[in-house]
Chains A and B, each alone.
Chain A
């Protein structure tokens, strides 16, 4: 029984309606603002938990109304949506705590939190969109809501970054519009259906289906930072630390990766995508992105830039897992959606703490920071090791499944790719850890703005680091992301 059929809508509205209230609050009403932020974020987590419970009980949600003849605005709560919604709800709560701490003395907080809230609403909408049309609406909203966050500092550099970000993402959105229209004309529907809706079209008009695949995946690939559409991501790291954390972990990049999943699994269907011969090129593109991102990361001295290039590389694991067209690899891809989010948000928050507490923004300044900020650096270390793929941490679990999936489909090169990528990960992360823990801090360098960071900055990365440990260590426990992932894959592969 569905006692609350509109539950998905309520989850969307929590942050959507909080946004205008946050805009309207005067700048000095800091406590009230914090209260609303945390309250709404907590309510959202509770509602998502409830939704998860209901969905696992077999309740099907479908909220829709007609926008144009035959074309609906549609929200659903399928297991795939739930996976992403849970991730964003939980990480939003944690990031909100962090942002409150981070912006304590900053300006324009009303604006910041208003758009922050809107950004989360858009992510939730992307997750729960029941068709490509609705997905498009929230995908564009996400662009618009994140732009003011990226340029929050209001400096010339931030504005330049914002302009590049806007050009890339809005152009991507325009191409997505084109693809959605094409899908609508060709298939007569834009609904997300496990197994896809294009099997017939692909059989009759192979070329049309192929073009549609290129257009749609290319469009969402912009946000997923697939090479060659990745250039905006390292530039957009001028944003404040909590924004970068959210952008890289749940919001923008993940919306792109999630979009790739929806398009491949539920618009085309993995079999159709394979039949029109598009999965292999996608896998190749993902492989190129993985290697390229890692190579670029090695050369970056700026911590956030290094992390950004690492994201370019890591998010493509998800694409790779989708494109390998093997259920086992798909488990790896979905698990990585969660795992990468947890790891990367930890690292960005830790990087923010280094900048705030010690004024350290470059890798070359990291000597001895472990002793100065042990909690933060422990969290960073855990996330970095997980990302390299040290068993039994989170990153290992995803890589394990991806490699197995590669072997499963006979693509042995995937194993080599993953080993190579892990090696590169080690090359760019281990020196950071080495400097932090084993080199003495040089007091000669002027250490600007050394201040004690409050618990609101210290606690969030530690929390997410613990989650990194937990999702890896207890990967096989019931209700772990991995278990849920297996459930989702069974649906997408219609087993």
Chain B
């Protein structure tokens, strides 16, 4: 077995996770080195994909459908790059955010395990392996949720675990049906299969499982509490990266097994619209900063599903680009936002929105970072979020789906409304009891979130290369 970039991408974090678990004292160092090395492996893989289009590696020399093959194309690589890039910066942010030794000991192995799972999802080519990987992800993600050790986090983590197990179970049942029906589980097999009722039922099971995992309204119930109560770096990973894995599988599956009915596509869009509206209203009512940010994730997931839905039955030939751009944009911006929210909470000692302006302590740079990330999430130019929304609205308008345009616009206004509550708290000064002293407005720990936030804005100007990269290797122009 030769060691190539793809195998490294998958196994480096796995071995790192084991090492960090076995050597808790060196966990931090092992973690950082591993994440950095994984970034390097992804980089090498990117070069290969740029040269050759799609790259396929049979693990252990066994070809599909018997063995396990790994495949990387533009889309999977974009996901890998976002995961390791955002992951690296969140890791740097975690250096400061995790003060507790026990937290640090558990954070690194869990996070590296999570990275293994996500990389596995993005490289996987058959649905059983995807099932295994989402279980790995779920295990690590639940661990990260309860890491803060508070009572709320434990309760939220438990709920998350139930949702996750149920989702995985549904997915596994779907996988079983497919196997009974087709006798194979790889993407190529799915693509070749004749559409039938049994396959549709299997698809439905898998998709509902995924919707539960990605928290599309009304299956989002577990998300806000879980993401809001985790420690900041964990929240950043959960909200920025973890939900994207299920979204990605959703995108892939529906390409290889198109939804049998236009009505289903519209239904998914309608659920997305529900998420945008309901999540927006809940974010308006949220009392705590991190809870508001978590609700905004619900909104954004909804928006991504609207992007997905507007292509309709015709297939994903174009629409998936809007969805992919929104996924990438949200990953970067939301990680920045959660890290910044964590910094603000650390400095103030609380994250109650109503009281943000009560003291004269103003972590200015973290607030600035938060605002930059909000620009991308609201979708204001020139951020990547804006480009994603532009692509979404362009497609919807061109196809005459005005209802999706309206929902997107309402969602934008709602997000302005709920974020402006936070900005007002940042900028109001007449409720401060003590005189405003010269507070040191920044710390070294602000660098990682700030970098992410700046990336979320400036990546928008690089949308053209990102888009052409996404198409490498027939990403979703079918042909697995």
**A interface residues, Cβ below 8 angstroms from B:** 23, 26-28, 65-69, 73, 107, 111, 136-137, 140-141, 144, 147-148, 151, 153-156, 159, 162-163, 166-167, 170-171, 173-174, 177-178, 181-182, 184-185
Contact = CB atoms under 8 A, between A and B. Distances in A.
A144 B375 contact: yes
Given A73-B461, A170-B416, 10 more contacts: A65-B461, A66-B464, A67-B460, A69-B467, A140-B381, A141-B381, A154-B429, A159-B428, A163-B424, A173-B380
Interface in B424-441: 424, 427-430, 436, 438
B412 A174 contact: yes
Contacts of A144: 375, 380
Query: Which 3 interchain pairs have the tightest Cβ spacing?
Result: A154-B429, A137-B381, A66-B464
A293 to B, nearest CB: 27
Interface stretch (B75-83, B172-180, B385-393): B385-393
30 contacts: A26-B438, A67-B387, A67-B461, A67-B464, A68-B391, A68-B463, A68-B467, A69-B464, A73-B382, A107-B429, A137-B381, A141-B381, A144-B375, A144-B380, A147-B423, A151-B427, A154-B428, A155-B428, A155-B429, A156-B428, A163-B420, A163-B424, A167-B416, A167-B417, A174-B412, A174-B413, A178-B409, A181-B393, A181-B397, A185-B397
Given A107-B436, A174-B409, A181 B394 contact: yes
Interface string B390-427: 11011001100000010001001100110010011001
A159 B380 CA distance: 21
A68 B464 contact: yes
A162 B380 contact: no
Interface string B59-100: 000000000000000000000000000000000000000000
Nearest to B426: A148
| Consensus secondary structure, chain B interface | helix
Contact of A27 (B382, B397, B428, B438): B438
Among B382, B405, B412, find the residue whose CB has the most chain A CB atoms closer than 10 A. B382
Contact of A184 (B394, B405, B417): B394
B106 interface: no
Interface of B: 364, 368, 375, 380-382, 387, 390-391, 393-394, 397-398, 405, 409, 412-413, 416-417, 420, 423-424, 427-430, 436, 438, 460-461, 463-464, 467
A171 B405 CA distance: 14
| Consensus secondary structure, chain A interface | helix
Contacts of A65: 461
Contacts of A151: 424, 427-428
A359 B436 CA distance: 24
Among B364, B375, B380, B420, find the residue whose CB has the most chain A CB atoms closer than 10 A. B380
Contacts of A171: 413
Contacts of A155: 428-430
A166 B381 contact: no
A23 B391 CA distance: 33
A107 B441 CA distance: 14
Contacts of B380: 140, 144, 170, 173
A65 B436 CA distance: 44
A159 B424 contact: yes
B381 A23 contact: no
Nearest to B464: A66
A159 B438 contact: no
Nearest to B364: A111
Nearest to A166: B420
B80 to A, nearest CB: 23
A185 B464 CA distance: 18
A88 B162 CA distance: 60
Contacts of B397: 181-182, 185
Contacts of A140: 380-381
Contacts of A153: 429
A211 to B, nearest CB: 12
A163 B424 CA distance: 8
Contacts of A69: 464, 467
A177 B427 contact: no
Contacts of A27: 438
A55 to B, nearest CB: 26
Contacts of A67: 382, 387, 460-461, 463-464
B287 to A, nearest CB: 19
B462 to A, nearest CB: 8
Contacts of B428: 151, 154-156, 159
B461 A185 contact: no
Contacts of A148: 427
Nearest to B381: A137
A163 B418 CA distance: 11
Given A156-B430, A170-B416, A68 B438 contact: no
Among B381, B428, B461, find the residue whose CB has the most chain A CB atoms closer than 10 A. B381
A224 to B, nearest CB: 20
A177 B381 CA distance: 10
A23 B454 CA distance: 15
Contacts of B394: 181, 184-185
A166 B438 CA distance: 29
A47 B24 CA distance: 59
B390 A68 contact: yes
B334 to A, nearest CB: 19
Given A67-B460, A174-B412, A181-B397, A154 B427 contact: yes
Contacts of B463: 67-68
A23 B368 contact: yes
Contacts of B427: 148, 151, 154, 159, 162
Contact of A177 (B390, B424, B460): B390
Nearest to A26: B438
A73 B387 CA distance: 12
A181 B438 contact: no
A128 B201 CA distance: 56
Contacts of B409: 174, 178
A140 B376 CA distance: 12
A173 B378 CA distance: 12
Nearest to B393: A181
A21 to B, nearest CB: 14
A479 to B, nearest CB: 35
A12 B394 CA distance: 29
Nearest to A138: B381
A128 to B, nearest CB: 15
Contacts of A23: 368
Nearest to B378: A170
B412 to A, nearest CB: 6
A105 B393 CA distance: 47
Contacts of B398: 185
Contacts of A66: 464
Nearest to B460: A67
B418 to A, nearest CB: 12
Contacts of B429: 107, 153-155
B245 to A, nearest CB: 27
Contact of B382 (A107, A137, A147, A184): A137
A66 to B, nearest CB: 5
A174 B417 CA distance: 13
Contacts of A141: 381
A352 to B, nearest CB: 21
Nearest to B405: A178
Contact of B381 (A28, A111, A136): A136
B387 to A, nearest CB: 7
Nearest to B432: A154
A153 B394 CA distance: 40
